[in-house]
Amino acid sequence: MESTDLGALVTLDALLQESSVSGAARRLGLSTPAVSHALARLRERLGDDLLVRAGRGMVLTPRAESLRPRVRDAVAAAARVFEAPATFDPRTLSRAFTLSMTDYVLAVFGAPFEQAVRDAAPGLDLRVIPNALDDDARLRDGVTDLAVGIYGPLPPELKTLPIISERLVCVLRDDHPVVRRRLTLAQYTALEHVQVAPRGRPGGYIDELLAARGLSRRVARAVPYFQIALEMTARSDYILTISERLARRDAARLGLRVLAPPLPLEPFALSMVWHPRFDGDRAHRWLRETLLATTRAQGGLAHPEPRRRLGPTDPTTGRARRRRRKA
C-alpha cells in the first residue's frame, strides 16, 4: 500500500461517515474543493459514484453503504498501528465516550460509575443515550462506544460481556387494597399491570409463561422508563414486575412493597456490548473495566442460577449472546 492509499482511505471514511463533501472537509480540516477533487479520484478508482445528490443533500450509493463498515474498521486498525506505546494513565485522558443505557442501569449503577470515572479520569466526558433496537448498528457505525442492556442475537463481530445477574420481583403500593403479605397467582392475573416496554408494545417472557398455563394478564399501562413505571405503581392499584435491585432501591422512598412473584421467573443477565475495533483502545478497555468493577462491587453476578450461561469475565474476550426480554 502506498502512502496515498492510506490518505485516500481516511478521506473515503470521512465521506462515508458524513455523507457530505463539506462535512468531510470539516472533519478532515481540509478545504471543500480539496475533498471534492479527492471524491472525484475515489469515484474513478472504485468505479462508483459513492455519493449522489438527493434534494439539498447527498446520500450514499449501495456500494458506498457496503464499504462503510469495512473502511471504518480499516481506518481504526491503521490508527492503532501508530499508537504510541506509552504507559496508560486515565488521569491524562481528554476524550468523550457515548454510552447506551436504560434508566434502570443509570439508577442502580450510574452514580458510583460516574464517581469512579470522575475520580480516576477527570478529563473524560460521558454521553449517555437510551438503549435502542439498533444498538448493534450504532456500535458498528461508531455512534455508540459501549452499550449496556439485555440483547438478542447480535452480529458475530460484536463482543458481549455479562456484568449483572438480576432477578425479577413484583412491587405494589404498601396499602394495596387486594394484596397483603403474599401474592398469589390468581391475584397476579386479576390485577392490572404496568410494564416497561420501550416500543409501547406489551407482552414478552412473563406473558409466555402465563399462556403456557392457560392464563393471561392485562397490561393497563406500557411505558418506556423504569422510574416512571415505579412512580405510576406507587400512585395506583397497579402491579409492576421489575428488576430486584431497582425495586429495593426505591421501595422505601416511594412507599412500595416488594414481593416474590407467583411464577418461577428465571434470573437474567445484563451485558455490556462493544465493537472489537476498541479491543486495542486502552481508554475504552479502562472504561469497561471500571464499569465491571462498579457492578461487581454491588453484587454483580452474585444472584444464583442465571438464566443462561454467563460466559467469560475478561472485559476483552466476552462473546455470550442473549435475547432482549421485556418484563
Alpha carbon distance 263, 286 (integer Å): 40
Alpha carbon distance 159, 168 (integer Å): 26
Q: How confident is the model at residue 303 (pLDDT cuts 50, 70, 90)?
A: very low
Model confidence at 166: pLDDT above 60: yes
Q: How confident is the model at residue 70 (pLDDT cuts 50, 70, 90)?
A: very high
For 64, the grid coordinates are: 458506498
Contact, 257 vs 176, CB < 8 A?
yes
Helix 3-18 and helix 62-81, axial crossing angle in degrees, nearest 10: 130
What pLDDT digit, counting tens, does each position of 10-21 carry?
999 999 999 999
The CB-side HSE value for 168 (13 A sphere, CA atoms) comes to: 22
What pLDDT is attached to residue 302?
52
The 8-class DSSP code of residue 87 comes to: P
Model confidence at 300: pLDDT above 70: no
Model confidence at 321: pLDDT above 70: no
What pLDDT digit, counting tens, does each position of 236-280 carry?
999 999 999 999 999 999 999 999 999 999 988 889 999 999 988
Alpha carbon distance 325, 166 (integer Å): 13
What pLDDT digit, counting tens, does each position of 9-54 carry?
999 999 999 999 999 999 889 999 999 999 999 999 999 999 998 8
297: Cβ–Cβ under 8 A, 6 or more apart, which residues?
Answer: 112
> 78 to each of 27, 119, 154, how far by Cα in Å?
18, 32, 26
Q: How confident is the model at residue 131 (pLDDT cuts 50, 70, 90)?
A: confident
Mean pLDDT of 318-323: 39
Mean pLDDT of 139-154: 87
Structural domains of the chain sorted by starting position, each given as residue range(s) with its CATH number in brackets: 3-81 (1.10.10.10), 90-166+268-297 (3.40.190.10), 168-259 (3.40.190.10)
Q: What is the pTM of this model?
A: 0.63
For 2, the grid coordinates are: 502506498
Mean pLDDT of 178-182: 86
